[in-house]
Amino acid sequence: MRATPTAAPVIVVLDGYTNNPGDLSWQRFAALGELTVHDHSEPAAVVPRCTGATVICTNKTPLTAAHMAALPALRFIGVLATGVNVVDLAAARARGIVVTNVPAYGTDSVAQHTIGLMLCCASRIVELERSVRAGEWQRRQVFSYWDEPPMELAGKVLGLIGLGAIGRRVAAIARALGMEVIAYTPSGRTAAGVEAVDLDALRQRSDVISLHCPLTGDNAGMIDRHFLQQLKPGAIVINTARGGLLNEADVATALAQGRLGGLGADVLSSEPPAADNPLLQAPRCVITPHSAWASREARGRLLDIAADNIAAFLRGEPINTVA
Q: Mean pLDDT in runs of 10 for the chain (323 residues)? A: 58 98 98 98 98 98 98 98 95 98 97 98 97 97 95 98 97 98 92 96 98 94 98 98 97 97 98 97 97 98 98 98 96
Considering the domain architecture, whether residues 133 and 191 belong to the same structural domain is answered as yes
Considering the domain architecture, whether residues 84 and 120 belong to the same structural domain is answered as no
Residues 198 and 204: beta-carbon distance below 8 Å: no
Residue 133 located in a structural domain: yes
| pTM of the entire predicted model | 0.92
**What totals of helices (H) and strands (E) does the chain contain, helices first?**
12, 12
Residues 279 and 254: beta-carbon distance below 8 Å: no
Active site residue 284: no
Residue 319 located in a structural domain: no
So what's the pLDDT on residue 7? Answer: 64
* CATH code, domain carrying 90: 3.40.50.720
Active site residue 129: no
Considering the domain architecture, whether residues 171 and 119 belong to the same structural domain is answered as yes
Considering the domain architecture, whether residues 97 and 121 belong to the same structural domain is answered as no
Domain count, the chain: 2
Peptide bond preceding 233 in cis form (omega within 30 of 0): no
Q: In terms of residue numbers, what domain contains 303?
A: 10-105+296-314
Active site residue 127: no
Considering the domain architecture, whether residues 86 and 138 belong to the same structural domain is answered as no
Considering the domain architecture, whether residues 165 and 309 belong to the same structural domain is answered as no
- Ranges of H-type helices in 212-295: 225-229, 248-257
Q: Quick one: CA torsion of 32, 38, 39, 43, rounded to 10 degrees? A: -120
So what's the pLDDT on residue 6? Answer: 44
Residue 37 located in a structural domain: yes
Residue 66 located in a structural domain: yes
Considering the domain architecture, whether residues 301 and 256 belong to the same structural domain is answered as no
Residue 169 and residue 322: Cα distance in Å, rounded? Answer: 24
So what's the pLDDT on residue 188? Answer: 84
Among 129, 152, 271, 297, the one annotated catalytic:
271
Among 242, 284, 299, 301, the one annotated catalytic:
242
CA 117 to chain centre: 13
Considering the domain architecture, whether residues 170 and 130 belong to the same structural domain is answered as yes
Considering the domain architecture, whether residues 221 and 232 belong to the same structural domain is answered as yes
- Ranges of H-type helices in the chain: 27-30, 46-50, 65-69, 89-94, 107-123, 125-133, 136-140, 165-176, 199-205, 225-229, 248-257, 296-314
Considering the domain architecture, whether residues 98 and 113 belong to the same structural domain is answered as no
Q: Quick one: CA torsion of 101, 107, 113, 119, rounded to 10 degrees? A: 150
CA 317 to chain centre: 29
